[in-house]
Amino acid sequence: MAKKSVRNRNLVRQKTVERFREKRDLLRKMVSDISLGDKERWDAMSALQDLPRNSSPSRRRNRCKLCGRPRAYNRLTGLCRLHMRIATVAGMVPGMHKASW
């Protein structure tokens, strides 16, 4: 089970990503727009770099909803492989059944 501090840190990152999403998307669009001048693109790139580091979506981590495990995460259910197996054996996941594991 992941420490509470690690799980809370990830929640803060998710909130920061959502807060800066529109601004980040706008700046990224400006940086890649070739119709703008070099000065505007440079300023947009500089403004993008000045955003908080945790506002980048690639810094947040998918974690299991039950235990907070970051590895072997299943996007469909939001669970790690361990809890996915328990839920499958218990018959809680429709369409999945225990194979030979």
Q: Tens digits of per-residue pLDDT, 5-42?
A: 999 999 999 999 999 999 999 999 999 999 999 999 99
pLDDT at 36: 93
Whether residues 74 and 54 share a domain: the answer is no
Give me the number of domains the chain comprises.
Answer: 2
pLDDT at 96: 82
Q: How confident is the model at residue 100 (pLDDT cuts 50, 70, 90)?
A: low
The residue with tokens 């505007």 is 40
Q: How confident is the model at residue 101 (pLDDT cuts 50, 70, 90)?
A: low
Whether residues 45 and 2 share a domain: the answer is yes
How far is 45 from 55, CA to CA, in rounded Å? 15
The boundaries of the domain holding residue 90 are 64-101
Whether residues 80 and 47 share a domain: the answer is no
Whether residues 49 and 74 share a domain: the answer is no
Whether residues 54 and 100 share a domain: the answer is no
Whether residues 2 and 51 share a domain: the answer is yes
Residue predicted with more confidence, 95 or 47: 47
Whether residues 52 and 79 share a domain: the answer is no
Whole-model pTM: value is 0.73
Q: Express each pLDDT in 54-97 by its tens digit.
A: 999 999 999 999 999 999 999 988 999 999 999 988 888 888 87
pLDDT at 94: 86
Burial class of 64 by CB neighbour count within 10 A (0 to 12, 13 to 18, 19+): buried
